[in-house]
Amino acid sequence: MAYSTILRRLREEKTNYKKRKLMLLSRRNFVTVQISNENTLVQIHKPEFTGDKVIASAHSRFLIQKGWKGSRKNVPAAYLTGYYAGKKALSKGATDVILYSGTRKYTQRMAAALKGVIDAGLEVPAGEESLPPADRLNGDHLTVKNDVAKIKSTIDGDVK
């Protein structure tokens, strides 16, 4: 009886190899969004044979330095984190990216981070209907009001 081993990352449901192969064959930079219990992490990668190289990375903890008072994992925080990562990637020469979600489901917070990357100036193939509306990105639905426009302007001043 022959025993067939399943790849470890496939067995642990960490990597969707079919999706990853298609993404790598396109040879385009890609953005990953990871949302934990407290924070949002947005990274922009360049695929290479020796492994993916991180071009730009932004973590939602930087929002505290900018005066953010609310949660760091909600829709406006994900949007600002994506915006910051997009600005950093633009300063390093990236022009277009694709979203790589891996085995994670496409959520509203992931869409908000993607919209932040788009608003930063990177080209991303995404339909407008799959992105959250502007009132959710600005945090109008939240009880704790944060000034998203003010924080965006400070990000623009920080990253040149």
The pLDDT value given to residue 1: 67
What pLDDT band is residue 76 in, cutting at 50, 70 and 90?
Answer: very high
The pLDDT value given to residue 69: 87
Question: Angle 75-91/108-120 helices, nearest 10 degrees?
Answer: 30
pLDDT per position as a tens digit, 25-75: 888 999 999 999 999 999 999 998 788 999 999 999 999 999 898 899 999
Chain-centre distance for alpha carbon 59: 10
pTM value > 0.85: yes
Chain-centre distance for alpha carbon 137: 14
The pLDDT value given to residue 93: 94
The pLDDT value given to residue 160: 67
The order of strands in the sheet holding 97-99 is 53-59, 40-46, 29-35, 97-99
The b-or-e profile of 80-112 (16+ CB within 10 A means b, else e) is bbbbbbbbbbbeeebeebebbbeeeeeeebbbb
Structural tokens at position 156: 């623009």
Cα–Cα–Cα angle for 88, 90, 95, rounded to 5 degrees: 140
Pick the CATH number of 27-153 from 3.40.50.720, 3.40.50.300, 3.30.420.100, 3.30.540.10: 3.30.420.100
pLDDT per position as a tens digit, 96-155: 999 999 889 999 999 999 999 999 999 999 999 999 999 999 988 887 667 888 899 999
Mean per-residue pLDDT, 76-95: 96
The b-or-e profile of 25-34 (16+ CB within 10 A means b, else e) is eeebbbbbbe
